[in-house]
Amino acid sequence: MVVHPERKAQRALQRLVGATLCPVVVVANADALTTIVDSNTVVIVDLAIAQACPELVQRPAKAWIAVPGEGLGPADPEVITSLLTAGWTHVIAHGMPILAEELLATVQKLVRDDAFGLEKYMAWGAEVRRYQLADARDREAAVDALAKDVVAVGLPDRVGSMVSVIADELIANALYAAPVDADGTHFRRGEPRDQGRPLTGRDQISVRWATDARYLAIEVRDRWGSLDPATVGRRLVAGATPPSGGAEGGMGLPLAYACCNQFVVATAPGRDTEVVALLDVRFKPTDLGRAASFHAFVTTAAVPQEAGDP
């Protein structure tokens, strides 16, 4: 289902979604939705319509995806913020051609219920590099190695610097925020971060990255499945203002989000969480949307494990 007021944009979006071989219905406004949308429908909505009717996302559907409006150009960051605050879990910030790549991957992940793996964002042929952390204290070494590897393939130091921040925050989140006990308490949140801890069993995390000269993707996966996709978007844009005193401010994920162009969360509740941060390395940053896209997937399907995984 495509809801967009512009005929040219409608055609472009219909072709894009049609590439999945799913039936596509195109309408010009939100009024037409009430009778056609059901829990199996993926609804693609113009950002302006989504902003005017943010409550749409509360209606049952497989997913609501907000896409750029006029001319399918980059989105206004304030609109992205308002939709994430309203609880939208799929918001695309970038215009063509990134929009096409991002929308196709998103719709296929939803339709196939296959949400995990950075390979879905890479062109065929891109090699995936993996780091295994044996101990929580290996985080700094893994981040340094990743940043050096990224620069070694020819990407600029600026990207290496961004990668350092993103990887560090995502790994720290997997190590200290993800573990939960039976009561849902995040029992490692206050743990000293300079303390060693063997990463075995459910504490194992995997860190992978790849680039195809369009995107650089960093993926961090934990075995807890505790990140709430319904609220993480709000946290990303709530502002990275830490509270007074020594309490955790939750600044890590907002900083990682601020450093990337697309932030993708996949959760198999109680089993796995994967965060993929994508940096566009084709275009000048100023040619892209100033805000990053956001996607949150929830799946009950089996999560494919890699060789060497538990």
Partner 1 sequence: MGPAGPVIYFVGRLDEAANLGDVGTVIPPGHVVLDTSGLTFVNSVGMREWIRLIRILRDRGVITLVRVADVLMAHMNVVREFAQSVRIASFHAAYVCNACGAEATPLIDVMQHGPALAAMQAPRMQCTECRGVMELADFPERYLTIFKA
User: Please, which residue, 251 or 298, has the CB nearer to partner 1?
Assistant: 251
Least spacing, CB of residue 146 vs partner 1, in Å: 13
Are 284 and 253 in contact by the 8 Å Cβ rule? The answer is no
- Residue 219, SS3 per DSSP: strand
The reply to whether 169 sits near partner 1 by the rule CB under 8 A is yes
Stretch that binds partner 1, among 81-89, 99-107, 167-175, 179-187 (CB under 8 A): 167-175
User: Rounded CA gap, 136 and 138, in Å?
Assistant: 5
> Contacting partner 1 (CB under 8 A), which of 146, 172, 218, 236?
172
User: Please, which residue, 9 or 171, has the CB nearer to partner 1?
Assistant: 171
The reply to whether 151 sits near partner 1 by the rule CB under 8 A is no
The reply to whether 28 sits near partner 1 by the rule CB under 8 A is no
Are 43 and 50 in contact by the 8 Å Cβ rule? The answer is no
User: Rounded CA gap, 276 and 176, in Å?
Assistant: 18
> Contacting partner 1 (CB under 8 A), which of 34, 35, 39, 286?
286
Find all residues with CB under 8 Å of 249, minimum gap 6, and list them.
Answer: 240, 241, 242, 243
Q: Give the dihedral sign, CA 281/282/287/289.
A: negative
> Contacting partner 1 (CB under 8 A), which of 138, 168, 219, 274?
168
Within 13 Å of residue 201, how many CA atoms lie on the same side as its CB?
3
> Contacting partner 1 (CB under 8 A), which of 21, 241, 304, 307?
241
User: Rounded CA gap, 288 and 292, in Å?
Assistant: 9
The reply to whether 156 sits near partner 1 by the rule CB under 8 A is yes
User: Rounded CA gap, 154 and 159, in Å?
Assistant: 10
The reply to whether 254 sits near partner 1 by the rule CB under 8 A is yes
Tell me, by CB under 8 A, how many residues bind partner 1.
29
- The runs of H, that is alpha helices, within 125-228 are 139-152, 157-172
Stretch that binds partner 1, among 20-28, 81-89, 202-210, 249-257 (CB under 8 A): 249-257
Interacting residue ranges for partner 1, rule: CB under 8 A:
140, 156-158, 161, 164-165, 168-169, 172, 192-194, 239-242, 244, 249, 251-252, 254-255, 258-259, 284-286, 290
